[in-house]
Amino acid sequence: MDDARTQMARQFIESLPHCAALGMTLEQIGDGEAEILMPYSEKLIGDPETGVIHGGAISALMDTCAGASVMSHPKAGFATATLDLRIDYMRAAKPGATITAHAICYHVTRAVAFVRVSATDGASDVPVAAATGAFTVERGKS
């Protein structure tokens, strides 16, 4: 993906109201891969006893990152929507840590884009969560 398109994708993702509300920043995008960061914030806490952020916020991050990877795939168009997303929560995210989501759009057909996403907090090699999803592809793009 050239710099102009990367810049456009960055502005687009970061301007999405819900992504801005969660403080997401796009780190990298291109050729069917994307990386998005979400810094720790007290308003995202799901368990006040431990300070661990809520799974819902991580779902939103992974959904966004998966969608971004589809947008950047050469065979898919810019517009896409989630068909389904299955999220596995492997462990609690470390309180205070920024969560990094990395998505790979590994296959695109005329109608469907298939994506794998993982979310890490830098505290362990085991991701916090992993997801697989199917996304829509614009008609006539592939």
Alpha helices in the chain (DSSP H): 3-15, 17-21, 55-71
CB 41 within 8 A of CB 78: no
Binding span for another protein by CB under 8 A among 1-9, 81-89, 104-112, 119-127: 81-89
Which whole-number Å values give the CA distances from 141 to 81, 83, 89, 107, in the listed order? 14, 17, 33, 14
In angstroms, give the least distance from the CB of 133 to another protein: 9
Q: Is 98 among the residues that bind another protein (CB under 8 A)?
A: no
Q: Is 25 among the residues that bind another protein (CB under 8 A)?
A: no
Contact residue for another protein among 7, 11, 20, 110 (CB under 8 A): 20
- Count of CB atoms situated within 10 Å of the CB of 98: 16
Site residues (vs another protein, CB under 8 A): 15-21, 42-49, 53-57, 59-64, 67, 79, 81-89, 92
